[in-house]
Amino acid sequence: MKQIVFATNNPHKLDEIRAIVKGRLEVLSLADINLSGDIPETADTLAGNALQKARWVKEKTGLDCFADDTGLMVDALDGQPGVFSARYAGEHCSPADNVAKMLDEMKNETNRRARFVTVIALIEGNKETTFEGRVDGEILCQPDGDGGFGYDPIFKPEESTYSFAAMSSDEKNAISHRGRATRKFVEYILQKH
């Protein structure tokens, strides 16, 4: 089975990706390869951030790797928080802080349309490839469910009557932005190996 490094320090993302690719790819964490440090994330696009993170790991290890970046784009907030989704409520904020800020900013909005977008950047040898997944939905008025992470309690995809946080991981992975991007990425890799 092909091994590939996932350039992330986020254990939730690592668990989610491993569940999606189980039995098809062996995804190594940064801890598995004894790599630590702050991964740069300073680009102004999701693709730019994903490539920046993958390049950082590739330069330090020489190993084939991939990275992702995800953003929540809210129509009523002119596409914000976008690339700043993880730091929406400030540099050292928690996911709960981000959810609270989003609920506060959306409290008087009737247009609650939003979308999650994930871009995965793959580096194999010296070739870089990106894959995008998107799910459209809406921002709820209050949290629903206690699973998932990040904005999952307040994001309801079009394909469902409840939030990502109220779904099982299998239900979420079947329709999520990360699931969609990951399936494209896995299909691409498996065609080659």
Name the phi and psi angles at 42, rounded to 5. Answer: -120, 5
Q: State the DSSP string of 40-81.
A: P---SSHHHHHHHHHHHHHHHH---EEEEEEEEEEGGGTTEE
Residue 69 known to be catalytic? yes
Nearest to 66 by CA among 50, 77, 79: 50
Catalytic residue among 69, 104, 152, 170: 69
Q: How many CB atoms within 10 Å of residue 19?
A: 14
Nearest to 68 by CA among 157, 166, 176: 176
Nearest to 129 by CA among 31, 24, 17, 50: 50
Q: How many CB atoms within 10 Å of residue 31?
A: 11
CA distance 43 to 46: 8
Residue numbers annotated as active site: 69
